[in-house]
């Protein structure tokens, strides 16, 4: 496996990342673990999950799998915060209140002491970025998070976050995770040049457009078994 450096961090990651959004729903735990172990055996060293995937069950499956093995120190775990995790008005978003609680909950589900890369899953228009970045910086300084990142943010919001972090001395976003595939190349206009200029890594999601580019959907209105 050829590894690449993650932005400015010096951390080496595999060019392929195992996404676990389907763990638990619809992929059952025993099959999910087989996928995980096969990926690691193939040299993949980064696992991507999220606190909202299958209502947290994706993180739980990953946590149990890592607990049963000695893989934790061999892989990088990325998870996310922003989507609703409960019925309360503060059980969502990028406020300090939600970020701190969501991080603790993810650590418990993952059965680990730290998260390697903690993603802000989406931009929160109701929370100033300075609030969000200050909370993330506290998590890094506490040792609960190694690196912070963002997902599906407009390029100008990423630039705004970098400027705040540089000005305040906060932990800086190390990468962005945008949608990117042959059918959706919007990031090439602004986000890709920004990442190149400012040393951010890119972790595209939906590289085969949720199966469309794999030829899975060959006839309009006809969906194969197991489709989402």
CA distance 174 to 186: 21
Known catalytic membership, residue 53: yes
Choose among 29, 66, 28, 69: nearest CA to 47. Answer: 66
Nearest 10 degrees: Cα torsion 128, 130, 135, 138:
180
Q: What is the mean pLDDT of residues 90-115?
A: 98
Tokens of 108: 């418990």
* Cα–Cα distance, 78 to 117 (Å, whole number): 5
Mean pLDDT of the chain: 96
Residue 214 pLDDT:
85
| pLDDT above 80: residue 137 | yes
User: Is it the case that residue 218 has pLDDT exceeding 90?
Assistant: no
- pLDDT tens track for 16-62: 999 999 999 999 999 999 999 999 999 999 999 999 999 999 999 99
Q: What percent of the chain has pLDDT over 70?
A: 96
Q: What would the pLDDT profile of 151-191 be if each residue is shown by its tens digit?
A: 999 999 999 999 999 999 999 999 999 999 999 999 999 99
Choose, from 53, 147, 173, 180, the residue flagged as catalytic: 53
- Write down all domains in the chain, each with its CATH number in brackets: 4-207 (3.20.20.100)
Answer whether residue 228 shows pLDDT above 80: no
Percentage of the residues of the chain whose pLDDT score is greater than 90: 91
- Gap between the Cα atoms of 10 and 205, Å rounded: 22
Task: Give the mean model confidence (pLDDT) for residues 190-211.
Answer: 95
Whole-number pLDDT of residue 205: 94
For residue 227, what pLDDT is reported? 65
């Amino acid at each position: 496996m050829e590894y690449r450096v993650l932005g400015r961090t010096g951390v080496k990651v595999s060019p392929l990342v195992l996404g676990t959004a389907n763990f638990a729903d619809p992929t059952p735990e025993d099959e999910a673990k087989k996928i995980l172990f096969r990926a690691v055996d193939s040299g993949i060293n980064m696992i991507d999950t999220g606190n909202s995937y299958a209502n947290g069950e994706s993180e739980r499956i990953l946590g149990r799998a890592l607990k049963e093995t000695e893989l934790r120190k061999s892989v990088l775990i990325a998870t996310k915060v922003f989507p609703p995790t409960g019925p309360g008005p503060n059980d969502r978003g990028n406020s300090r209140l939600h970020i701190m609680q969501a991080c603790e909950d993810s650590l418990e589900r993952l059965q680990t002491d730290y998260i390697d890369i903690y993603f802000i899953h989406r931009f929160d228009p109701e929370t100033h970025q300075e609030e969000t970045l200050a909370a993330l910086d506290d998590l890094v300084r506490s040792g609960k998070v190694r690196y912070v990142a963002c997902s599906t943010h407009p390029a100008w919001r990423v630039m705004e976050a970098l400027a705040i972090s540089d000005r305040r001395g906060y932990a800086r976003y190390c990468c962005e995770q945008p949608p990117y595939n042959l059918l959706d190349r919007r990031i090439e206009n602004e986000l890709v040049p920004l990442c190149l200029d400012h040393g951010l890594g890119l972790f595209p999601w939906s590289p085969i457009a949720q199966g469309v580019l794999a030829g899975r959907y060959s006839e309009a209105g006809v969906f194969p078994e197991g489709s989402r």
